[in-house]
Structure 1
Amino acid sequence: MPLSHSSKERPEFDRYADSYTDLHKVSVAASGEEPAYFSAYKAKYMASRARNVSLTPAILDFGCGVGNSVPHLREAFPSAVLHGSDPSSESIRLARSRLEDTATFLESGSEALPYADGMFDLVLVACVLHHIQPSERARWMAEIRRVMKPGAQLFIFEHNMLNPLTRKVVRECPFDEDAVFLSRSELLGLARYAGFGKIDARYVVFFPRQLATLRPLEPLLSWLPLGAQYVIEAIA
């Protein structure tokens, strides 16, 4: 779900809450996959790359929207304590009504996350930052770091602006009307500025369902800027 902290835009996010999943389904139709595929992809990726995580890690889904990533995070991390945060009150209401037994959901404020310092072992930011105004991104990256434990891992997935199909999907998606792409180099710079270390970047999501038999090759292509998205991994 889009995450913005502008009071002017916030009602728009509430307006899309009920229709978000259906709109997302339409927007990714060209891939041959349902939205759940992409949520599961991110959760599995995190699980495959998580290091030195406790048996019951605290995980934050930053910009969780209606909570569509949460069931997949639960499957990937069965014993985790899951939290979701989003500025859209309507999205949080829907997330709670669907998943109150799976995760704790809190509406985020306009200046800070509603969590104590050093609370989380893992943080997922799934295609959220392009909905935050560029001038606000550094501040929110610092805020994400604030709520992470020392040594905690951050996973940020973003749309690859170099992929023409991705640009088309974003351009035609109603809830992406405010989107401002981040280049991989910009996001790497934001992570460094916020004080993260051991920063890594990889391109991901290369093949549509019609070419699913080639997906095992994707880790070998992580250097190639043709993936539909890219992921930044960093240590707090």
Structure 2
Amino acid sequence: MDRAEFDQFADEYLSQHRNNIAVTGEDPEFFAEYKIAVVRKLLDAAALAPRRIVDFGSGIGASMPFFAKYFPAAALTCADASPRSLELAAARFPDGAFAEVADNRVPAADGSFDLAFSACVFHHIDHDEHVHWLGELNRVTAPGGRLAIFEHNPYNPLTVRAVNTCPFDINARLIRASNLVKAAKAAGWKSPEIRYHIFFPRALAALRGLEPGLGWLPLGGQYSLLAHK
């Protein structure tokens, strides 16, 4: 993970992200919240209530308000390779817990968390390193814990356009869901499942009630991978 690459965009991240997704009619908060809401729903279905969560690649803390909303009883640790991003996150949310990812490891003891979460981070990591970092997340997750990863769908043309025109995605390489599944299995995660999300822009928001039934269809703007240890 290249901390210099993440540091250079930290101060402008929110405004650049907002401009880049304007075509969807939504703001960054919408995309941050829907992911946490999806995880909450999936864990509720499995009767799981994580008490310790790590947000791997947490950036400037965009997900923090929504972890507080959907997992109010859980302790959240934000982990990122960019010191500047962590500095900005701490300024926005001074009561948070933050940890710098360095030396090729997640800075936590084995089995520290019940849920490892990562939102649109792995396409910034060299594909050859995916198994390593998924293995690190496996190491810091307790037995029976869960992994939840969200990524951009390389088969959605609007997503590809957004990535290709985004300043902080200049070195990004999108990941096929099947390849992420293979990497998760190689890292020791069990029963990885893929679901697709974000089929309709805000102009067609009335149709979003159909999206849970479309999770199998590989046309959504993003997808999630959920697995267990």
Q: Which TM-score bucket, shorter chain as reference?
A: over 0.9
Structure 1 counterpart of 2:144: 151
Aligned match of 1:89 in 83, 90, 102? 83
Q: Contact conserved, 1:87 with 1:110, CA < 8 A, in 2?
A: no
Per-residue deviation at 1:52?
4.0
Structure 2 counterpart of 1:192: 185
Task: Detail structure 1 runs of 4+ shifted over 4 Å in the superposition.
Answer: none
Per-residue deviation at 1:15?
1.6
Provide the C-alpha distance between the structure 2 equivalents of 1:143 and 1:12, rounded to a whole number of angstroms. 21
Q: TM-score normalised to the size of structure 1?
A: 0.94
Structure 1 counterpart of 2:56: 62
Mean Cα deviation higher: 194-203 or 165-174: 194-203
Q: 1:72 aligned to 2:69? A: no
Provide the C-alpha distance between the structure 1 equivalents of 2:51 and 2:203, rounded to a whole number of angstroms. 36
Provide the C-alpha distance between the structure 1 equivalents of 2:47 and 2:103, rounded to a whole number of angstroms. 32
Structure 1 counterpart of 2:16: 23
Give the partner amino acid of 2:217. L
Q: Percent identity among equivalent residues?
A: 44
Give the partner amino acid of 2:77. H
1:178 aligned counterpart, secondary structure: coil
Aligned match of 1:132 in 109, 125, 129? 125
> Within 5 A, what are the aligned runs for 1:220-231?
220-231=213-224
Q: Contact conserved, 1:53 with 1:121, CA < 8 A, in 2?
A: no
2:15 aligned counterpart, secondary structure: helix
Q: TM-score normalised to the size of structure 2?
A: 0.96
Aligned match of 2:101 in 90, 103, 108? 108
Give the partner amino acid of 1:85. A
Per-residue deviation at 1:62?
0.4
Aligned match of 2:25 in 32, 39, 60? 32
Provide the C-alpha distance between the structure 2 equivalents of 1:156 and 1:224, rounded to a whole number of angstroms. 18
Provide the C-alpha distance between the structure 1 equivalents of 2:104 and 2:192, rounded to a whole number of angstroms. 26
Structure 1 counterpart of 2:113: 120
Give the partner amino acid of 2:132. R
Q: Contact conserved, 1:154 with 1:235, CA < 8 A, in 2?
A: yes
Per-residue deviation at 1:29?
0.6
Q: 1:206 aligned to 2:199? A: yes
Per-residue deviation at 1:198?
2.2
Q: CA RMSD in A?
A: 1.0
Mean Cα deviation higher: 172-181 or 56-65: 56-65
**Long gaps (5+) in structure 1:** none
Count how many residue pairs are aligned between Structure 1 and Structure 2: 227
Provide the C-alpha distance between the structure 2 equivalents of 1:203 and 1:181, rounded to a whole number of angstroms. 15
Aligned match of 1:164 in 153, 157, 162? 157
Could you report, residue by residue, the CA deviation over 1:61-96 in whole angstroms, capped at 9, with x for unpaired residues? 100000011111110111110110000000011111
Note closer, same or farther for the CA distance 1:166–1:145 as it changes in structure 2 (3 Å cut).
same
Per-residue deviation at 1:134?
1.1
Provide the C-alpha distance between the structure 1 equivalents of 2:146 and 2:30, rounded to a whole number of angstroms. 23
Provide the C-alpha distance between the structure 2 equivalents of 1:146 and 1:118, rounded to a whole number of angstroms. 6
1:217 aligned counterpart, secondary structure: helix
Structure 2 counterpart of 1:53: 48
Per-residue deviation at 1:12?
2.8
Provide the C-alpha distance between the structure 1 equivalents of 2:188 and 2:37, rounded to a whole number of angstroms. 26
Per-residue deviation at 1:135?
1.2
